[in-house]
Amino acid sequence: MTETRDWLTEGLPNIWLPYTQMATAAPPLAVVASQGVRLRLADGRELIDGISSWWTACHGYNHPHIRAAVERQLATLPHVMFAGLVHEPALRLAQRLAALLPGDLERVFFTESGSVAVEVALKMAIQYWRNKGQAEKQRIVYFRHGYHGDTFATMALCDPEEGMHALFAGSMPDHIMAELPSDETTRRAFDLLLETHAGRLAAVIVEPLVQGAGGMKMHDAQTLAFIAEACRRHQVLLIADEIMTGFGRTGRLFACEEADVIPDIVCLSKALTGGTLPLAATVARRHVFEAFLADDPSAALMHGPTYMANALACAAANASLDLFEREPRLAQVAAIEAQLREELAPCRELAGVAGVRVKGAIGAVELAGGIGLDALRRRFAGLGVWVRPFGNVVYLMPPFVIGAADLATLTAAVRSVLAERAATL
C-alpha cells in the first residue's frame, strides 16, 4: 500500500485529466490491475466495468489470446515507420478489414485515434473532389447531437450547443448542421439541403444507428438508408463514423450492415484492438482511392502519423478479429440487449427520467433536471461498479463477455442510484 500511495500522491500533481475541472473534482480512482470485466483498485476494491473503458474492451480485460499476440510481436518487431516500409501485421489486418466490411471498402489508412481517423476521412473527401476538378466541394454536413472527436477539424462537426466544444466557437471551420431525417418533415428538409448546397458539399458524416457522446441518441436503419440514398442522388460522399458502433456494439459487426448501406468512407477505432493499444483506421471504397492515382504527386493523400500502423497495435487488432471469428460475440451482444431491455425498463417509472433506450450492448437512461455527475459517479463506485454518466445520460456499454449475474449487478446499481435521485426531486 505504501508503494501505491507513493506513486499516486507523488504523481497526481503532475497530471492533467481529461474533461475534468481539477479545482473541484473528486480524486480519480487508482487502478492497479484488470481482469475479465473487473477493475482492481489500489485500496483492494473491485469494480465491475460497465462502460468497457470508453467502449473499447469488447473482449474484457487481459484476454490471453490478445496478450500472447502482443508478446510475440514485441519480441520481433514492435514498430517501424510506415513510409516506404510495410510489415505483415498491418497488411494482414488491412486485408481482413476489407473482407469484413461491406462492398468495396478495401483501402485502409491506419492512424492512432478516432479523432485522427475522422480527420483523415475529411481530407479524403475534400481532396477526392479536388482531384476530380471540383475544388469548390469543401463543406461537410453533420447532424445535431453528433460527436466526431476533439481535434479542431472534428470539433467543427459536433453539435455546437450540446457538445463539449462551445468554448472554441468561432475558431473552427464552418460546416453545415442538419437534423437527422427521421420523419417526413426532416427528410424533406435534408433532401432540400443537399440539393441546395450540393455544389459545395464534399460529404455527409453520420454515426450510424447510435450517436454516442452526443447522448446515446438512437435512430433506425431506415433513417440511415435515407441518408445514404440522398447522398448518392446529390453526388455527395457518405462518411460513416463507426468508431463507437463498429465491431459488434449495435448487434451487427458494423452498424451500416443493418441498413444495407455501403458508405464511401468508414472510420474505425475504439474496439479495433479489443481495448489494448491505440489504433484507428479510415477505410475508403475503390472509387475514392482511385481518384488519388495520378502522375501528379500533389494528387496523393498527404497524411502520415508517426506511429501509423504500429505493429504491436496491428497484432492486437488481428488477435481481436480472431476472437470475433472463434467466440460467439454477436450472440453475446444479443443476450446483453435482451437483459438491458428488461432490467432497465423500470427506470421509466422513476421521477427525473426522461427516457430509456437500448440498442445492442448499449443501454441509456436519459435524465431530466439537475444531474450532479460527480455525486452519481461516486455513488456508483460505492456500489462496486464503474459507471460514468455524462451530460444527462447514465449509460451501460459493458464488455461483450460479461455474464448475466454481473450485468444484473450493473443494472441494479443504475436502478438503485436513480431511485435515490428520484426521491430527492
For residue 164, CA distances in Å to 150, 155, 179, 387 come to 9, 9, 19, 20
Phi then psi for 180, rounded to 5 degrees? -60, 130
Instruction: Select which of 137, 217, 270, 359 is catalytic.
Output: 270
| Number of Cβ within a 10 Å radius of residue 239 | 28
| Number of Cβ within a 10 Å radius of residue 314 | 28
Q: In angstroms, rounded to a whole number, what is the distance separating the alpha carbons of residues 169 and 354?
A: 29
61 is catalytic: no
Query: Mind listing the domains of the chain with CATH numbers?
Result: 2-59+328-424 (3.90.1150.10), 64-326 (3.40.640.10)
The confidence score (pLDDT) of residue 5 equals 64
The three cell numbers locating residue 393: 445520460
The confidence score (pLDDT) of residue 3 equals 59
270 is catalytic: yes
Instruction: Select which of 49, 241, 264, 406 is catalytic.
Output: 241
Give the DSSP H/E element, type plus range, for residue 252. none
Instruction: Select which of 61, 128, 142, 147 is catalytic.
Output: 147
307 is catalytic: no
CA-CA-CA-CA torsion sign (94, 115, 121, 400): positive
The confidence score (pLDDT) of residue 204 equals 98
Kindly report the pTM of this predicted structure.
0.96
**pLDDT tens, residue order, the chain (425 aa):** 445 568 999 999 999 999 999 999 889 999 999 999 999 999 999 999 999 999 999 999 999 999 999 999 999 999 999 999 999 999 999 999 999 999 999 999 999 999 999 999 999 999 999 999 999 999 999 999 999 999 999 999 998 876 667 778 778 788 999 999 999 999 999 999 999 999 999 999 999 999 999 999 999 999 999 999 999 999 999 999 999 999 999 999 999 999 999 999 999 999 999 999 999 999 999 999 999 999 999 999 999 999 999 999 999 999 999 999 999 999 999 999 999 999 999 999 999 999 999 999 999 999 998 888 899 999 999 999 999 999 999 999 999 999 999 999 999 999 999 999 999 99
Q: Which DSSP symbol is given to 194? A: H
Query: Can you tell me whether residue 47 is helix, strand or coil?
Result: strand
The confidence score (pLDDT) of residue 186 equals 98
Q: Are 282 and 111 a contacting pair, CB within 8 Å?
A: yes
Q: Are 201 and 140 a contacting pair, CB within 8 Å?
A: yes
The confidence score (pLDDT) of residue 379 equals 96
